[in-house]
Every structure is written in C-alpha cells, then in structure tokens.
Amino acid sequence: MPVLELVAPAKVNLGLRITGRRPDGYHTLDSLFAPLDLGDRVRVELGTCAPGDASGSRIALAVRGLGADALPADASNLAARAAHAFLRAAGMRAELAIDLEKRVPSGAGLGGGSSDAAAVLRALDRLVPGAVAPAALPDIALSLGADVPFFLRPQPARVRGIGERIDPARGLGGLPLALANPGISLSTADVYAAWDERAAALTPPGPRPTMPPAHGPEIAAETLSRLFVGGEFVGSDDDRARVRAVLVNDLLAPAASLCPSIARLLEQLESLGALAVGMSGSGATVFGVFESRGRAEAAVARGTFPPPVWARAVITLASA
C-alpha cells in the first residue's frame, strides 16, 4: 500500500499585529511566519481508494509522543479532518491510516496541529496526484484553520488577512532561537477574546511617536535578514535595539494576563543573553533571539526549566 512520511514543521511568529476584525468575528492580522527545524512526524498510508462518497471513508489515526494523551485520536483531530476534507473535495472514498508522532507542544502558538493537517493534505496530494486541483488546496487548508495554508509550502513568509495572503520573505533561514513553553496550553479563542476586551477598554490612541515604522512584519523581515548572516548576528550595539523593536506581538499582553508564566519566561531568556524576546502566535511559547545557535543552545543548558516547562534551541528554516 502507498505510504508517505513527512515532517510537519513548527513555526514561530516574528512579530504579529492585529489589523482588524471582520463582521464574521475573525480577526485579521499581519505577521511574519518562519518554519523551524522542529516538527512532528506524519505518516500516511493509503489503502483502498475509489470514486465515491467520502463519508464512507475509514480513517484510522494513531497519536503518540509529546502530549499525546491529551490529544484526540478520532475524527475531531485536525489531521483526520484534513483527510476527510481532501477526500470530499476529490470525490473519493478511501481507507487511510495516519500515524502522528508529536514533537511540538499543543496549544503553544507554534502551529503544530495546523502543520499536521497541512502535512496530511500534502501527503494525499502526492499519493493521489491530480485528485484535487492545486488551486483548490489553499481553500481546503483555510477551511481547516488560519495557519494551515502557510504550512502547505512552509517557508518564511509575511502572512496577512485571516491567513490567506501569503508572500514569501527571503533571507530568514538560520535565525538562532531558544524556545520556552510554560507547559500550559492557551486557547487561541480565549487569547483573542482577552485582546477584544482590552481593546474595548482603551481610549482612542493619540498620535504615534515620530519614530521609523519598525513594528511591521515587512520591516521585521528586512531587519532580521540584514542583521543575521549565516545564522549569526553581524550587527552593532545599536542594531540590538532594532531587533527588539521588530518583534512586537499584539497578543502578548492578553496572553500574559491569562498565563503569568509567559512574563517570567521572557525575563529568564533576557537574563540568559537573548538579543530580543517575543511570543509566538497566541502563546504560550516565547522565544529569545540569540547571536548564534551555540549561544542559544548554551542558554537552554544554563536556564532553569523544570517540568512541565519545555525549552529547546532551534533555528528558522529557509524552506521545509
């Protein structure tokens, strides 16, 4: 039977701005996504396959690894939902076996579940070539979640709207980071709800400071690609402040209000020598940007990260 195994890479948000809210309640964003050399393993085995009603398909899902006990291994899992969505779009009935080895924490802002779903879509697209038109795959992905389209072709990119506008960003491979997660899963919906409450309580903002527009993802991509060459920081002392300026995440304050451990981990990464710190997605994973991978690895080794806190040195990938 045809089998395909893929890596489903995690991602980090190198800055995230909320740009609005649609009438349907979805928030629009502007963010810089980068895949990491950390990922789940997704194995898809295709059994019988024939034209027909996809509702008659049989999908067996096995989940193991990091946090597997807390994840559903049924049709509600995003990986299984991705398989069903693909088969519906293809007008096929099939028997599938999906084996999911988790290495990325769930509910961590690293896109693990979304990447798993995209890996299933990519695997089925290769196992049953032409069953779904290439132009239809992004729509299927977006129906599953805002981050899923990015993972169809994981490479550094500026992502806007509700995840449907993806523009590749060059020169961002090899960025050395230390990730830290408090061992607490944060609900994306809860973090956005906290953001809405904070935004509603604020008075209309006054004029912005007269400083360069250093907080947008486009500026972040240019700044980071210029200051890191071959995975090492090549900037001056003044450039350190520029790195800090570009890692703005609008969801940090509401996430930290729900999970105070976030602030403590950010402080620890700074004390361990990070050039700058930030939070990925809606949390709860935070990260520090270091001058080299060696320094990121040394920081993780020196830091105090007792279970259930999870920490790891990683680099961003030019493509995955």
pLDDT digits (tens, 9 = 90+) for 55-91: 999 999 999 999 999 999 999 999 999 999 999 999 9
DSSP codes joined into one string, 225-282: HHHEETTEE---HHHHHHHHHH--BTTHHHHHHH-THHHHHHHHHHHTT-SEEEE-TT
Could you identify the residue written with the tokens 């059994």?
47
Please state, in angstroms and rounded to a whole number, the distance separating the CA atoms of residues 313 and 40.
Answer: 16
Task: Note whether 296 and 178 are within 8 A (CB).
Answer: yes
Nearest to residue 227, comparing CAs of 171, 155, 157? 171
In this predicted structure, the answer to whether residue 210 has a pLDDT above a threshold of 90 is no
Query: Residue 218: what pLDDT?
Result: 84
Residue 13: the pLDDT is: 97
Q: Where are the beta strands (DSSP E) in the chain?
A: 3-21, 27-51, 58-65, 92-102, 157-161, 165-168, 176-181, 228-229, 232-233, 276-279, 286-289, 310-315
pLDDT band (50, 70, 90) for residue 243? very high
Count Cβ atoms below 10 Å from residue 206 Cβ, excluding itself: 6
Taking the C-alpha atoms of residue 73 and residue 62, their distance in angstroms, rounded to an integer, is: 6
pTM of the model: 0.93
Closest CA to 221 of 188, 246, 251, 185: 246
Averaged pLDDT, 211-229? 79
**How far apart, in Å, are the Cα atoms of 208 and each of 56, 204, 241, 315?**
57, 12, 19, 34
* Catalytic position from the list 40, 116, 147, 250: 147
CA distance 29 to 20: 7
Residues ≥6 apart with Cβ < 8 Å to 301: none
Q: Tokens for 131, please give them.
A: 């069953």
DSSP state letter for 297: H
Which of the four pLDDT bands, split at 50, 70 and 90, describes residue 162?
Answer: very high
Whether residue 4 has pLDDT greater than 60: yes
Average pLDDT, the chain: 93
Rounded to an integer, what distance in angstroms lies between the CA atom of residue 193 and that of residue 199? 10
Contact by Cβ (8 Å): 48, 95? yes
> Is the separation of the CB atoms in 113 and 119 below 8 Å?
no
Structure tokens at 307: 């279970």
Average pLDDT for residues 35-64, to the nearest whole number? 95
How far from 284 is each of 45, 124, 148, 216, CA to CA, in Å?
33, 31, 19, 22
How many Cβ atoms from other residues are within 10 Å of residue 306's Cβ? Answer: 6
- Measured in whole angstroms, how far is the alpha carbon of residue 305 from the centre of its chain? 22
Separation between Cα atoms, residue 49 and residue 30, nearest integer Å: 40
Q: Which of 11, 30, 102, 125 is catalytic?
A: 11
pLDDT tens digit string along 255-279? Answer: 999 999 999 999 999 999 999 999 9
pLDDT of residue 192: 95
147 belongs to the catalytic site: yes
- Return the half-sphere exposure (C-beta side, CA atoms, 13 A cut-off) of residue 34: 29
Respond yes or no: is residue 102 known to be catalytic: no
